[in-house]
A and B are shown apart, each in its own frame.
Chain A
């Protein structure tokens, strides 16, 4: 797993030149990349969501597509459209912004459900069908979608069931004072993204993705993560818990987390680290919980505290 580690280290270091601080979030993004999953960034405007996607794309030398969602957007704006070419008298397919390796879907909650579903379908199928013709999406395909939690007017919040498509949900948040000052320093002359170099190729990504599947996960750890997921289903404050997709995601992300640290075995620490991002958006809170001001994060924390970790049976005796 050393190659995976070095790869991810390079990537993270590179992206950190643009996104100051927030190393954990960048690492989670990289993990998501390695898991072939899609990332949902739920955050306030102006904290660097676009920069993250762009720097990720640039670091990999991959193509970057950007979709800015508006309420009057049509699915064809996403997928692409066939245009009649007057001169050649044929319908040509002009690919939409989704035909890129790294796609930034900004403010996904502003689009109409129809448009949303087009995106989600593409994310799921890894292909788009326009006028009966199927176009495959690139081998490396990752969507970074953003959602603004503040605005409620004029938005179509993504239904929780559909949020399941995203592997992880992360939040960036405001930078610290030191970091903010550093941002000002770095962007004084020009934006660092303009100087960002390519540190890895798409091929590296693909091979890393393959490699991490061989990370060993011991049976106790497997039962631990399944136990976690099951607890989300049984918790009194949760109406609907995580699905097996969640377990799978947790599984894959655990492997990726171990691989990124250079280990070839998954530890419960890995699981605990990714549990929040992986499971948080998959939970539907019971009505009573919202009234008591409990959110998914606190419930997940509670679950994590109480679920017995393998190897931690020393505590109980």
Chain B
């Protein structure tokens, strides 16, 4: 037995194999590194687990299996098993289940030997059922993602991402080991892994320098393995060889690999991110690298410069940046007082208004910066008093009327519970997106220049049951903006989001899971300034683990996005002290608040309260009846607004151009009218002068000794030259008829005794008008003949300027 073990180890666990495995491990560690950078949602621990597991399993099947079809099966089963346990966080559940199984067995044994009570299989049953549930949820999530992907409707699901990439990585590790150990074919073994990492790098457009160290190691591995194979060959065929070859080859391989790796460290990939981080570290300023990249032209200029133009000053405009870490206002100074009236039909079993917690929003943010929030570009639109911002909205929106009286200057911001619909003053709304088809809207914020104002607003609502069944059919613009997170968000944040929500069946449940998780963090206002180059969410979740509303809200939005839910950050005020005598809420400065809103299809942006210590949102379990959408604003505007006279400059210019054109045309018609009425003797010289002018433009010059007839012939032959094989040549050449008629008439007028021989001034005018079009067309042909590109449009085939003798017919 021992000798068998010895021979086994000697055969399989030898220096060469260990060296190969080590190289493969190094290569895959590098691959894992670049994969982690390019793919969002696979973190180090997952990849390492897959790598080690894959290497082990690969070595086992390479060494022990006899037939080839067993290997893929084992790979599949073990890979899925590992991934399921890891991603679904089933480890603890399974270990608990195992413990229970063991204790049950012990109980069973003791029951058999009649020393103990009846064994209780209930806990095992519960454990198994829960395990089954969780597995079922995981499976359904994967299937849903896969079907959506295949249907061309890709969805962001971190679980699916972890599964897919984890499995690919696992598979390539197993494949590599299998091919290298068993078949001694390193190149083919490395190939899938290289393919995966190259395509992911290329897809996100990162520098391929990252591949160089991998190539270095791969080259070393390939060289060494091939040499081993050769050596074995030589030995079996008794070919003498010098042992020094191995030395030389090994040295070369090592030098090559190290050299390539050193090369990459000297010449790293200069991403803008690195430069900016470097600068950040030096100057301790928080520069938005994305904006810098954009200003260097790296990122597409799809966003307007409105974002940059509006400064972060809080006077007059809308602040579009919200940096976390600034001290929150602690004073209890009253800032405003709000009277509320519910305009939608109320159900009898809803709470009275005094129990409602109103979230008075002012601004919403959609872009996470790592250090805070910003808004994407928006369009400002002015509204008259009484003018509604929305034409229609979902039935689940509640209409609330507020009368707001300000005690302090709050920067001109408009506060409302929900989407501002209508006020009694003129106000301005900054729209990020108006999607009337989906009845969804995204407003950055609104401003109003008044200290007392009415505002009607729409508050999205939903019951638990409805929100659960809302589905995940997000419109494209929601997907593009509200699930996106910058790369600076650390992997462990993403992993946390994924793990918390892996086994939650619906998006609503996932959101609630995150909310519940965050509410457990203690609330405090005493927090030092967070480090500048640190991601705020990471800092809050893993370092500080306490904070105030800004942090909770930020973490909620970031985690929700990482879990695939569209979310945004909202700031404003919360609640207020209800004053019975005035039936109004008094808002103080310390009620400034930030919260998260998550998007549910057909329900809009639903408020979530992650801040620990704040009252939890009470959502009804049963579906709430829909509110009617009949609505008419009924407050009179205090001051009628005057509209400027000329709204649109471009329209004005166009109209004046049009009028000028019409005027010119009328003058033209008038001249024709006059021409027709002239006597023939006066008509013809004018006409002929004009014809001569056209001819001159066409390029016919006449000598003084040319008679009119000779001139006409020149014109005709010139036209024929250019019109030959043009598209409307027949129409064009009919001009000769009119020309001859006019010339004949002119001759009669000039030289004959009896000029009125049957020529009619109307006919002549008509002939001239008919002729004129053809002359213009001839002018077009002559002028465009120079430009070869127009030949296609105007000529049937390449125009040949044939110089022919003008026909001297009369």
Contact = CB atoms under 8 A, between A and B. Distances in A.
B491 to A, nearest CB: 87
Contacts of A306: 703-705
A265 B704 contact: no
B688 A314 contact: yes
B805 to A, nearest CB: 14
Contacts of A127: none
Given A261-B810, A315-B692, A309 B706 contact: yes
B215 interface: no
Interface in B337-379: none
Nearest to B696: A315
Given A267-B747, A311-B708, A305 B752 contact: no
Contacts of B810: 261
Contacts of B706: 305, 309, 312, 315
A266 B748 CA distance: 10
Given A267-B747, A314-B692, A315-B692, A309 B707 contact: yes
Given A261-B810, A305-B703, A306-B703, A312 B753 contact: no
Contacts of B692: 314-315
Nearest to B703: A305
Interface stretch (A48-56, A71-79, A215-223): A215-223
A297 interface: no
A266 B751 contact: yes
A104 to B, nearest CB: 30
Interface residues of A, number: 28
B551 interface: no
B704 A316 contact: yes
A307 interface: yes
A21 interface: no
Interface in A101-126: none
Nearest to A303: B705
B182 to A, nearest CB: 95
A220 B750 contact: yes
Interface string A1-29: 00000000000000000000000000000
Given A261-B810, A265-B752, A314-B692, A308 B705 contact: yes
B705 A305 contact: yes
Nearest to A308: B704
A265 B685 CA distance: 19
Contacts of A308: 704-705
Given A311-B746, A314-B688, A315-B692, A221 B751 contact: yes
Given A218-B752, A220-B750, A268 B707 contact: yes
Interface string B705-717: 1111111000000
Contacts of B804: none
Q: How large is the interface on B (under 10, 10 to 19, 20 to 34, 35 or more residues)?
A: 20 to 34
B702 interface: yes
B704 A309 contact: yes
Nearest to A272: B707
B689 interface: yes
A128 B761 CA distance: 57
Interface string A275-317: 0000000000000000000000000000111111111101111
A272 B707 CA distance: 9
A265 B753 contact: yes
A269 interface: yes
Contact of A314 (B689, B705, B752, B753): B689
Contacts of B704: 305-309, 312, 315-316
B269 to A, nearest CB: 76
Contacts of B707: 267-269, 272, 309, 311-312
B750 to A, nearest CB: 4
Contacts of A216: 751-753
A218 B749 CA distance: 10
Nearest to A311: B750
A217 B709 CA distance: 17
A239 B708 CA distance: 31
A305 B705 CA distance: 4
B404 to A, nearest CB: 79
Nearest to B702: A315
Contacts of A269: 707, 709-710
A264 interface: yes
Interface string A245-285: 00000000000000001011111110010000000000000
Interface string A193-225: 000000000000000000000001110110000
A269 B747 CA distance: 10
A221 B752 CA distance: 10
Most buried by A among B689, B748, B752: B752
A314 B685 contact: yes
Nearest to B810: A261
Interface in B707-757: 707-711, 746-748, 750-753
A305 to B, nearest CB: 4
A238 B262 CA distance: 100
A267 B707 CA distance: 9
Contacts of A218: 750-753
A267 B753 CA distance: 12
B449 to A, nearest CB: 68
Contacts of A264: 752-753
Contacts of B711: 312, 315
B710 A304 contact: no
Contact of B705 (A265, A267, A307, A317): A307
13 contacts: A218-B750, A267-B750, A268-B751, A308-B705, A309-B705, A309-B708, A310-B751, A311-B688, A311-B747, A311-B751, A312-B704, A312-B711, A317-B689
Closest 3 CB pairs of A and B: A265-B752, A305-B705, A216-B753
Interface of A: 216-218, 220-221, 261, 263-269, 272, 303-312, 314-317
